[in-house]
Amino acid sequence: MSGSLSESPLNKSVREIPIEIVSEEEMALIEAALSAARSSIPAILSPFEFHRNARSIQSITALSKRSLSGRTVLDIEDSGDFASTQKKGKEAEPFLHRFRRKKGLSVTDITGTEWCEKQMESIHLRGKRKTNKAMEAGSARHKKLEEEIVRKVQVCVKSKEDAWALKLLNFIVGVNQLLFEGLTRELPLVGFTEEGIWMVGVIDEIRMPATETDRNPMLVDTKTRVRDTLPAEPQRRNGRLQLMCYKYMWDNLVAGHFSSKQFFYFFTLNPHSVLSEDIRERTADSGFPVETLDDMVRLYRNTFSMLPPAHDQLLLRYEFQKDNSLLGEDQFAFDSDLLKNQLQGCLEFWLGEREACYTPEEERWKCRFCQFVSICPAAATSDPDI
């Protein structure tokens, strides 16, 4: 088993940067639903010029302040194949314990649940989401943009402790790149939330502000579009939720809300496991030699203790997939109350406290892009002209 390390071409003196191969759980569910895929920001020059040569869509944030957790529940007689039945054994376990045990809840799990809980339920009970050409093109674009600032090299990974060490090392060196170069991409996060849940995620891009008076990193996410138009409000709302989750995780880690003991217990890791020789050599070359996973976790925590909270302003960018041109940007403010309400509603589903809800009637157009439409009774009640 192997992982990847990378070297920045921006500065040949920069040490190799470890890059984690993102798992399928980290893949964006939401953009696929409307034939869009995650991508990274297309340029590294003048990274702080957020609105240059772009159509303004400042009205995006003001368009809708409806609750992110707006949902619709159908009568039990209408449930069809989705109807609740008497469950026994493993099937009775909440989705969080059944499908995210020892993995943690990903930010994509949160955004996918907000998009449609019934779709999320079907993905886990009936099969994984199918990929399409738009997703593949978006992933290819994403990879190309990542390679603009990093060069991958192979690293030997022999155990799950090695895999986690590489993931944390990727974060540590990525932060160094952020501090010295003002820009980093594909930064992995793992943290413990106030709701008592372990969450994982990968931030598309982080930028340091151009002014010396403002030292709070800005979190950025770029979405690619098949059409040369800006997305509908539900997509923009979902993208804003994604970035707010990242800021929530970042700020919790900065505040010291990370228990090493709970981390090792939840992910069933041996803190005293000696890391592979390859990883130990890489960390020594990077200037912070470690021997065990516990050493790496301590370094992870120490790195966050020296960082400021993320900027309250978050940035979504929309890019035309055909020519990578910028369609527009949505810079918006973090809303802690809105986020916590959404997380609470999401966890009710994942913890099995209630049945999964259907998407609201006014958003049933989403059903046209769902692979489970043929077995979902909500699709039959939607207006085909929406």
pLDDT value of residue 96: 92
pLDDT digits (tens, 9 = 90+) for 354-371: 999 988 989 988 888 888
Residue 89 lies in a domain: no
pLDDT digits (tens, 9 = 90+) for 181-221: 999 999 999 999 988 999 999 999 999 998 878 899 999 99
Residue 93 lies in a domain: no
Residue 198 lies in a domain: yes
Whole-model pTM? 0.77
The better pLDDT of the pair 76, 321 is held by: 321
3-class DSSP state of 377: helix
Residue 185 lies in a domain: yes
Residue 211 lies in a domain: yes
The number of folded domains in the chain is 1
pLDDT band for 155, please (50, 70, 90 cuts). confident
Residue 33 lies in a domain: yes
Under 8 Å between Cβ of 30 and 111: yes
Residue 309 lies in a domain: yes
pLDDT value of residue 130: 66
Q: Which residues form the domain of 16? A: 2-58+132-343
Residue 20 lies in a domain: yes
Angle between helices 293-305 and 233-254 in degrees, nearest 10:
100
DSSP 260-302: HHHHHHHTT--TTPBPPHHHHHHHHHTT----BHHHHHHHHHH
DSSP 112-132: HHHH-HHHHHHHHHH-PPPP-
Collect all residues with Cβ–Cβ distance below 8 Å to 352 and sequence separation of at least 6: 93, 94, 95, 96
Q: Which range has highest mean pLDDT (16-30, 52-66, 187-201)?
A: 187-201
